Structure 1
């Protein structure tokens, strides 16, 4: 082998090895585990909120209960994946606490809008509650701010509109919550 061919091969090999270390591909992140998912702070915060809301109430005082979709405080006609996820988690936590939760999605006479979930508006409250024989409805709003999403939930007696309980809390605006507050764009 001629010296200049050998030297050229050596230079190319060193360049390939050196440039290979300059890859712009980010290091792979470890995927979450089932243990991490089971103890996720988002789920814990929402369960705690429901527990605080019904603390001291007998299940009979809140049963049967409907859970409305949690909506954006700036537009009560709009929800998001966050609002629907919160509602689902409140329903699960209430049922686990012994409250008789009625599933509205199984009924055909509830107003359900495409991409927004079931929105329970105050003027419809009594009719829907009567149809489902509900004594209470969990309603709520969320408000997106800079670093937090502020959530307010209330347990309302269906017959009188009396607020039985209320609870406010904040969720950090982490990547997960940012994805959930996005408005539907048809990309789903």
Structure 2
């Protein structure tokens, strides 16, 4: 099944943001937007749901805290207790002030590393993945809006996109 998409190129991020709002008001479906830098407010203009990555970061931090507590309990209290600097080695709670930096560092370590892994998995950025950027100019100074044109009048949609401020329009036939 063949589907058509239109690539509209914009020169300015403010024009792109206004165009996204106009395209959504006209009830056209925006497939993707490629920008050389993050555009503030673009996610809300596109109607994207808010991210839940902060929740996963908190959960990963909790996992890091639990692992650090379990690790210190096992290593320093149960497996090989030592008298270091006169500190008692038979109680986790008595050693807690000395363990706080370790708990903090492992919480941050787990949250940071697992968030990077989660981001790559969610974004489908695998090692040796071929780039899916449709126009290399979007990595420099251009902004590209990909609008689905299946079952639509392509000429009317192109005229509409030119009126929103697009400097260039390409019709792509995906097969």
| Smaller-chain TM-score bracket | under 0.3
More strand by share: 1
More helix by share: 2
Give TM-score scaled by structure 2 length: 0.27
User: Relative contact order, CA 8 A, sep 6+: which one is greater?
Assistant: 2
Give TM-score scaled by structure 1 length: 0.26
